[in-house]
A and B are shown apart, each in its own frame.
Chain A
Amino acid sequence: MFLRIVYESFRRQKRRKLLAGAAITLGVTVATAMIAVATDIGDKINRELRTIGANLLVTPQEDTLDVEIGGVNLKPPTDGAFLNESDLPKIKGTFWHNNITAFAPMLPVNVALQRDGQTQQVTLLGTYFSKRVVFGKEEFKTGVRTTHPWWKVSGAWPEDSSRDVLVGERLATRLSLHAGDEVALSGRTLRVSGILSTGSSEDGEVVAPLGLAQEILGKPGAVRRVYVSALTKPEDALGRRDPKSMSGPVYDRWYCSPYPQSIAFQLQEAIPHSHAEQIRQVAQNEGAVLTRIEGLIFLITLAALFASALAVSAAMATAIFERRAEVGLMKALGAGKLAVASVFFAEATLLALIGGMVGFVAGGLLARQIGRSIFDSQITIPPVLFPVILAIAVMVTFAGSAAAIRKAVGLDPVFALRGEL
């Protein structure tokens, strides 16, 4: 009889059930989408923050001081130590290799530039533009186009294997060079594939593929420094501690957390004779911005959950309130409070389960759409969320119905049937 009441209630009151079900579905959709966005926003914003530039710098351990003013390096080019280019792919072999989005080696060389019969000293910077690097079975592309996304080129980016160069904007204006022209650099004639604009010292330099710079310097495989762009976690008390002072388990926890310090430590381990350090301007501030945005989205998700809980409750309360006459009839026929309440709760559970499932799927699609249109990448919902969302849907539906059910159960059948309440 109990099952029949519930079944018939769904069969005969399709419109009302659809209305309440729609409210639950909408509520769960919004809640799912917001939870998915909130859990993923940290990673997404972290990737966006990488556009501010590399956050780690690897230099040779025994390097001499840089003497650089206004983009002109006065240090003799052969002075000091170098890193070995062949060690660089090992960066992708570190524990946090998935967090390392890209790296770019740099090798500044002083060259003589001949133009219109005049010779002047300029800096030539050798680097990767978008080079294919192989480590083990993994193949990936890395270079300044990823680590320095604010570099703009009018013309074309040179191929990493070519002998084409980019000329900085200020230098190009001074020498009236254009994309496609040829320049004489230290006795070599090179083609200018594009004009580079960066807003900093590179505007007065020539930027070339790393191999060409090594050839001019006469040191094959030499790299002066490496910029590494890594997704990191905002540093906390543990992150700031000195790894040497840590005990075993604490050290393991430090080592296995993507703090800027621990990733720098691992880079130092991977590249022989190197010194890795966070670039504090980028690394420190990124944590602050990330924490703020994550906190904001978290608080807004709470508001969204609250609003959707309220929508579900309101819909359930209305649905039950409209069925006073039915309650009166049941009670007049001798149904106890428990029987009446259990009919309503069973209906609410059924509605919540159906609405929860449909809402979860719709919320997933919505989150994916948000991810695609805002961040150009997928936001995926961890399947673990499914039972959690379903449980929340049932709980909210129950909570929303509870007050209305209590009132319905307490009705006097006579008044209820006469519709006087």
Chain B
Amino acid sequence: MSGGVSNSAQQVAAGRAHAPHTSMFFRMLMRAAVLRRGRAASALFAMVVAAAVTTAMMNLYVDVQAKLRREFRNYGANIVVVSKDGNSLPADALARIESVLGGKGVVAPFALLVARTGDGQPIVVVGTDFDRVKQLDRWWSVSSWPASSHQALVGVRALPVVSPKNGPFDLEFQGHTIHLTAAGTVRTGAAEDSRVYLSLVDFVAWSGVQLSTIEVAATGSPEEISAIMQQIGGAIPKAEVRPVRQIMEGEARVLGKTRATLLAAAGLIILTAALCVLSTLMGWVFDRRRDFAIMKALGASDRLLNGFFAAEAAALGATGALIGFVIGIGIAAWIGRVNFHAPVVPRFSVLPFVLAGSIAVTLLSAIVPIALLRRVQPAVILRGE
């Protein structure tokens, strides 16, 4: 008799285990979330925060380099194109370099010569394009940029030499004289301070000397920049293309250190967030040992129980990761705007990593307590011992 009862109970249990009611499974998942919404919400909250912080850090880590590189382009040119052996560059050199760059950088032309001032002193005169220089050499402290032809930009140290009385002045080169007025002064603390700058049109019309140097500030990674240098060399075979090592090496060093710091910080933050989720979720699952015991007492198989808790954890992980991803993108964009005055572009390639990581952490934090509970008799748990 008793054997029959246990027999039929086993049959029922086996039947249930082998033909799980899908609707029941989902109902249990839903009810677990709704009935214990306080605990479920706190677990979800921890998951969301962890996913958000992780997303933000991963987004920043990828984007900060590009942002800082742009910051470094304020240092000016990182590539210099000069003519070989004193020849001048071809007339369309500037256009050729611009087509290589495709908008990813700033280019400025320079032509140099030594002229004589009114009282016969030698001075370096440079012909250039002021609009381009304004973008390339942002550190130039200029009182007022020349606006029309025959206006010059005079270095602060050159000014007393060329125009002691602050009036118009003449410069002479190989018998040709040009009459100029100083539109303003330039101060850089370097060689520019002792030079006179003219527009390239005035310069060529006066002296006939063609441009000899083109400075290029190209944005991109070191590999991209060396590719650009090769392409420029191919486009203008007569020119010598040189990297400005001073700027490139300093940039690489500072960027490398910043990246390493960021990586260390991201690692620490992600670890903390993961551990936070782990402890909250383990507490949550452990707390539901009575549910576990009842299900087991009613005949649920180990497989079903594992599946149930794993599905619950995975659902929580996925939901938390999705919400956290959106918030994290927001945080990254906010940091970008506050600190770099440009939004960080959301990177959806980060999503799979965040999703997989979140689900892995939640599964881990569900499996550990279940493995502990499985060894305990349901009766012991139900009696609250």
- A residues with a Cβ closer than 8 A to B are 19, 23, 26-27, 30, 33-34, 37, 41, 44-45, 48-49, 51-53, 57, 65-70, 74-75, 148-150, 198-200, 277-285, 288-289, 292-293, 295-297, 299-301, 303-304, 306-308, 310-311, 314-315, 317-318, 321-322, 325, 366, 370, 373-375, 418-419
Q: By the criterion CB–CB under 8 Å, are A281 and B76 in contact?
A: yes
| Contacts A74-B122, A279-B190 given; does A311 touch B275 at CB 8 Å | yes
Residue numbers in A under 8 Å from B140 (CB-CB): 280
Query: Complex: how many Å from CA A288 to CA B287?
Result: 52
Query: Complex: how many Å from CA A279 to CA B67?
Result: 24
Residue numbers in B under 8 Å from A74 (CB-CB): 114, 122
Nearest residue (CB) in B for A296 is B339
Selecting from B16-24, B259-267, B355-363, the interface stretch reads: B259-267
| Contacts A51-B249, A150-B246, A281-B75 given; does A67 touch B287 at CB 8 Å | no
Residue numbers in B under 8 Å from A53 (CB-CB): 246, 250
Which residues of B277-335 are within 8 A (CB) of A? 279-280, 282-283, 286-287, 290, 331, 335
Asked whether any CB of chain A lies closer than 8 Å to the CB of B46, the reply is yes
Q: By the criterion CB–CB under 8 Å, are A281 and B272 in contact?
A: no
Q: By the criterion CB–CB under 8 Å, are B244 and A199 in contact?
A: yes
Query: Complex: how many Å from CA A384 to CA B318?
Result: 43
Residue numbers in A under 8 Å from B161 (CB-CB): 65
Residue from A293, A310, A374 within 8 A of B49 (CB atoms): A310
Instruction: Report the minimum CB–CB distance from B49 to chain A (whole Å).
Output: 6
Q: Which of B53, B261, B273, B340 has the most CB of A within 10 A?
A: B261
Instruction: Report the minimum CB–CB distance from B218 to chain A (whole Å).
Output: 15
Residue numbers in B under 8 Å from A418 (CB-CB): 384
| Contacts A30-B272, A292-B340 given; does A280 touch B189 at CB 8 Å | yes
Instruction: Report the minimum CB–CB distance from A81 to chain B (whole Å).
Output: 13
Residue numbers in B under 8 Å from A198 (CB-CB): 245-246
Q: By the criterion CB–CB under 8 Å, are A150 and B250 in contact?
A: yes
Asked whether any CB of chain A lies closer than 8 Å to the CB of B66, the reply is no
Asked whether any CB of chain A lies closer than 8 Å to the CB of B99, the reply is no
Residue from A300, A310, A322 within 8 A of B57 (CB atoms): A300
Contact flags B190-227 to A (C-beta < 8 A → 1, else 0): 11001000000000000000000000000000000000
Asked whether any CB of chain A lies closer than 8 Å to the CB of B71, the reply is yes
Residue from B67, B76, B189, B253 within 8 A of A277 (CB atoms): B189
Instruction: Report the minimum CB–CB distance from A121 to chain B (whole Å).
Output: 15
Which residues of B111-129 are within 8 A (CB) of A? 112-114, 121-124
Please, could you name 22 A-B residue pairs with CB atoms under 8 Å apart, sorted by A? A30-B268, A37-B261, A45-B258, A51-B250, A53-B250, A57-B190, A65-B123, A65-B161, A285-B71, A285-B139, A296-B64, A300-B57, A301-B265, A303-B53, A314-B279, A314-B280, A317-B42, A317-B283, A321-B39, A322-B287, A374-B257, A374-B264
Which residues of B18-49 are within 8 A (CB) of A? 39, 42, 46, 49
Query: Complex: how many Å from CA A404 to CA B262?
Result: 34
Q: By the criterion CB–CB under 8 Å, are B76 and A27 in contact?
A: no
Q: By the criterion CB–CB under 8 Å, are B242 and A199 in contact?
A: yes
Asked whether any CB of chain A lies closer than 8 Å to the CB of B180, the reply is no
- B residues with a Cβ closer than 8 A to A are 39, 42, 46, 49-50, 53, 56-57, 60, 64, 67-68, 71-72, 74-76, 82, 112-114, 121-124, 137, 139-141, 157-158, 161, 187-191, 194, 242-247, 249-251, 253-254, 257-258, 260-262, 264-266, 268-269, 271-273, 275-276, 279-280, 282-283, 286-287, 290, 331, 335, 338-340, 384
Instruction: Report the minimum CB–CB distance from A318 to chain B (whole Å).
Output: 3
Residue numbers in A under 8 Å from B141 (CB-CB): 280
| Contacts A281-B76, A292-B68, A296-B339 given; does A370 touch B276 at CB 8 Å | no
Q: By the criterion CB–CB under 8 Å, are B76 and A321 in contact?
A: no
Instruction: Report the minimum CB–CB distance from B172 to chain A (whole Å).
Output: 15
Q: By the criterion CB–CB under 8 Å, are A30 and B279 in contact?
A: no
Residue from A26, A281, A304 within 8 A of B188 (CB atoms): A281
Q: Which of A284, A300, A325 has the most CB of B within 10 A?
A: A300
Instruction: Report the minimum CB–CB distance from A383 to chain B (whole Å).
Output: 22
| Contacts A296-B335, A311-B275, A374-B264 given; does A318 touch B257 at CB 8 Å | no
Q: By the criterion CB–CB under 8 Å, are A307 and B269 in contact?
A: yes
Q: By the criterion CB–CB under 8 Å, are B258 and A281 in contact?
A: no
Query: Complex: how many Å from CA A41 to CA B169?
Result: 51
Q: By the criterion CB–CB under 8 Å, are A303 and B46 in contact?
A: no
Instruction: Decide if the interface of chain B is mainly helix, strand, loop or mixed.
Output: helix
Residue numbers in A under 8 Å from B280 (CB-CB): 314, 317-318
Nearest residue (CB) in B for A283 is B189
Residue numbers in A under 8 Å from B121 (CB-CB): 65
Q: By the criterion CB–CB under 8 Å, are B57 and A303 in contact?
A: yes
Residue numbers in A under 8 Å from B56 (CB-CB): 303
Q: By the criterion CB–CB under 8 Å, are A67 and B279 in contact?
A: no
Residue numbers in A under 8 Å from B275 (CB-CB): 23, 26, 311
Q: By the criterion CB–CB under 8 Å, are A375 and B114 in contact?
A: no
Query: Complex: how many Å from CA A68 to CA B275?
Result: 63
Q: By the criterion CB–CB under 8 Å, are A280 and B123 in contact?
A: no
Query: Complex: how many Å from CA A374 to CA B261?
Result: 7
Instruction: Report the minimum CB–CB distance from A273 to chain B (whole Å).
Output: 16
Query: Complex: how many Å from CA A282 to CA B276?
Result: 44
With A52-B246, A70-B112, A303-B53 already in contact, 8 other A-B pairs whose C-beta atoms are closer than 8 Å: A26-B275, A41-B261, A57-B189, A65-B161, A66-B124, A66-B194, A281-B189, A314-B42
Query: Complex: how many Å from CA A74 to CA B112?
Result: 13
Query: Complex: how many Å from CA A301 to CA B57?
Result: 11
Residue numbers in B under 8 Å from A295 (CB-CB): 338-339
Query: Complex: how many Å from CA A339 to CA B155?
Result: 79
| Contacts A26-B272, A34-B268, A199-B246 given; does A285 touch B75 at CB 8 Å | yes
Q: By the criterion CB–CB under 8 Å, are B253 and A51 in contact?
A: yes
Q: By the criterion CB–CB under 8 Å, are B258 and A311 in contact?
A: no
Nearest residue (CB) in B for A295 is B339
Query: Complex: how many Å from CA A75 to CA B124?
Result: 11
Query: Complex: how many Å from CA A318 to CA B249?
Result: 51
Among all A-B residue pairs, the 8 with the closest Cβ atoms: A52-B250, A318-B283, A199-B245, A311-B276, A295-B339, A280-B139, A65-B194, A277-B189
Nearest residue (CB) in B for A44 is B257
Query: Complex: how many Å from CA A314 to CA B272?
Result: 11
| Contacts A48-B253, A289-B72, A370-B261 given; does A299 touch B246 at CB 8 Å | no
Query: Complex: how many Å from CA A311 to CA B191?
Result: 56
Query: Complex: how many Å from CA A69 to CA B123?
Result: 10
Query: Complex: how many Å from CA A373 to CA B257?
Result: 10
Residue numbers in A under 8 Å from B272 (CB-CB): 26-27, 30, 304, 307-308, 311
Q: By the criterion CB–CB under 8 Å, are B260 and A374 in contact?
A: yes
Residue from A65, A292, A366 within 8 A of B158 (CB atoms): A65
Query: Complex: how many Å from CA A282 to CA B188?
Result: 10
Nearest residue (CB) in B for A65 is B194
Residue numbers in A under 8 Å from B71 (CB-CB): 285, 288-289, 292
Residue numbers in A under 8 Å from B290 (CB-CB): 419
